[in-house]
Structures are given as structure tokens and as C-alpha cells.
């Protein structure tokens, strides 16, 4: 994305959900094996979110292979520092191919995570002066958390969200299984905070309620949630 492009982050989230939803849920279903194994492990505390998160992060390469997402164009990369495993995919946004990099995180029921930014949020942003007329700065790549919430007995993923993690805002969207339906509810757009540096991208705010005009035409409808 070049300097000066106009980005509607709500539309981006909807496009990501349309293209990635079923595939990412197929990946999330693979974690049942790991979670059920943890439930049978003596002395393991399933209420320890950090421990469960570390276990699922460790199981991601095997789960990724079992989901066969590699044949769908996805890649799994491993960084030597931080939460090393990343899921990379290509998506089409308004006719342009964009790179998406996802970090897996244990989350609350609305996709809230303890970590504030993606590992690459700073590295992916070029240090450059602010230019008049640009409202918000953001990385060129689409950096998001794949935030999962477990069911009550911690044996399966109950809900799945994509959450912007580039430091511009925490806007998110819930992903639904193929057999689930959802009636969208409008939510106000919250003010966005500026990170310190970055490639300047102008973000277009839309009036409250306008999102209903752009509801998905499939059998389920949803709006991207505002920053949490």
C-alpha cells in the first residue's frame, strides 16, 4: 500500500472474514485434540490462560499441517523471538492483493487479549515525517491477532475473532462457523489513537448506522466491533 491510500478498516475486516472465516475455523477445530489431552494431564491447570495459550501456540505447527491450510495458500513462519509462530496469507482487498500476518492468542469472549500489539507492529512501520492531511499511521501489511476463546470446560474453541494489532486501533470482527448465523448489531466507531511512527494511511470514518447499508449478503451478517 502506498502513501496516501484511503483505508476503511471496517470494510477490510469484513473482506478478511469473507475470505478466511471457514479456513481459520477449520484450523481452530484442530485444537480439540490438544485441549482434550491437556484436560487429561495430571496437575495441569486449564484455568491458567497463559499456560493454555503457550500449549496451543506450541501445537500450532502440527494443527496447521492437519488443517491442510498449506494447500490453500497459507504459510506458517517461525520467528526466533516472541510468539514465534505466525500464519501468513494473501487476500484480495478492493482488487489488490494484500499480505496478512496473524498471531494466535488466547482471548476473552469478545476477542480481547492481554497483548496490545503484533510482534511486527513496529518493525513493519517505516520511520518518516508526518504529512499534512493524513489522519492515522499504520503498517503496510495487515497485522492481526487470531483471538480464540475457549468453552467453559476448556476442551474446544468457542469463539474466534480477527483483531487489528497494528497499534492504530483494536477494531475486531467475529468469525462464524459455516453452520452459524448472526444478526449484525450496529456499534459506534470509537476515536483512534496515533502510534509514534508509521506509514501514513488515511482512515475514512463513516456515520453511525451506515454500516447497515454494507451488511454482508450471505446468510449471516455482522459489523466489525469498535476498538476495545
- Hey, which bits of 94-166 come out as E strands? 96-106, 136-138, 142-150, 157-164
Per-residue pLDDT of the chain (228 residues; tens, 9 = 90+): 333 345 688 899 999 999 999 999 999 999 999 999 999 999 999 888 889 989 999 999 999 999 999 999 999 998 877 667 999 999 998 888 999 999 999 888 877 777 778 878 876 544 443 444 445 556 678 999 999 999 888 889 999 999 999 888 889 999 998 875 433 333 444 444 444 444 444 444 444 444 444 444 433 445 555 554
Say if CB 214 and CB 14 are below 8 A apart.
yes
| Backbone torsions φ then ψ of 202, nearest 5 degrees | -85, 125
**Distance between CA 75 and CA 140 in Å, rounded?**
19
37: its cell numbers: 489431552
**Distance between CA 122 and CA 71 in Å, rounded?**
30
∠ Cα 109 115 116 (to 5°):
100
- β-bridge partners, 200: 137
**Distance between CA 202 and CA 195 in Å, rounded?**
14
Phi-psi region at 106: left, alpha or beta (left = phi > 0; alpha = psi -120 to 50): beta
* Of the candidates 224, 226, 218, 228, the residue with the CA atom closest to the CA atom of residue 22: 218
First vs last C-alpha separation in the chain: 26
**Distance between CA 205 and CA 14 in Å, rounded?**
15
State how beta strands 157-164 and 136-138 pair: unpaired
Say if CB 56 and CB 31 are below 8 A apart.
yes
So what's the pLDDT on residue 224? 58
- Which are the contacts of 172, defined by CB distance < 8 A and separation ≥ 6? 13, 110, 111, 147, 161, 162, 163, 164, 224, 225, 228
So what's the pLDDT on residue 140? 72
So what's the pLDDT on residue 208? 40
* Of the candidates 44, 173, 169, 52, the residue with the CA atom closest to the CA atom of residue 104: 52
So what's the pLDDT on residue 123? 61
Task: State the pTM of this model.
Answer: 0.71
Amino acid at each position: 500500500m502506498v502513501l496516501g491510500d484511503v483505508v476503511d478498516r471496517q470494510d477490510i475486516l469484513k473482506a478478511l472474514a469473507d475470505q478466511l472465516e471457514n479456513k481459520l475455523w477449520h484450523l481452530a477445530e484442530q485444537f480439540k485434540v490438544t485441549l482434550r489431552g491437556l484436560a487429561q494431564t495430571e496437575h495441569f491447570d486449564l484455568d491458567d490462560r497463559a499456560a493454555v495459550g503457550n500449549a496451543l501456540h506450541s501445537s500450532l505447527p502440527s494443527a496447521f499441517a492437519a488443517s491442510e491450510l498449506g494447500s490453500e495458500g497459507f504459510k506458517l513462519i517461525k520467528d526466533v523471538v516472541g510468539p514465534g509462530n505466525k500464519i501468513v496469507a494473501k487476500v484480495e482487498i478492493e482488487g489488490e492483493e494484500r499480505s496478512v500476518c496473524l498471531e494466535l492468542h488466547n482471548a476473552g469472549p469478545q476477542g480481547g487479549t492481554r497483548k496490545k500489539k503484533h510482534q511486527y507492529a513496529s518493525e513493519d512501520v517505516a520511520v518518516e515525517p508526518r504529512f499534512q492531511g493524513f489522519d492515522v499511521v499504520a503498517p503496510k501489511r495487515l497485522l492481526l491477532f487470531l483471538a480464540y476463546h475457549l468453552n467453559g470446560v476448556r476442551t474446544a474453541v468457542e469463539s474466534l475473532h480477527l483483531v487489528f494489532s497494528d497499534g492504530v486501533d483494536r477494531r475486531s470482527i467475529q468469525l462464524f462457523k459455516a453452520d452459524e448465523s448472526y444478526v449484525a448489531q450496529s456499534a459506534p466507531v470509537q476515536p483512534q489513537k496515533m502510534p509514534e511512527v508509521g506509514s501514513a494511511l488515511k482512515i475514512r470514518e463513516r456515520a453511525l448506522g451506515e454500516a447497515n447499508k454494507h451488511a454482508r449478503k450471505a446468510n449471516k451478517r455482522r459489523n466489525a466491533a469498535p476498538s476495545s
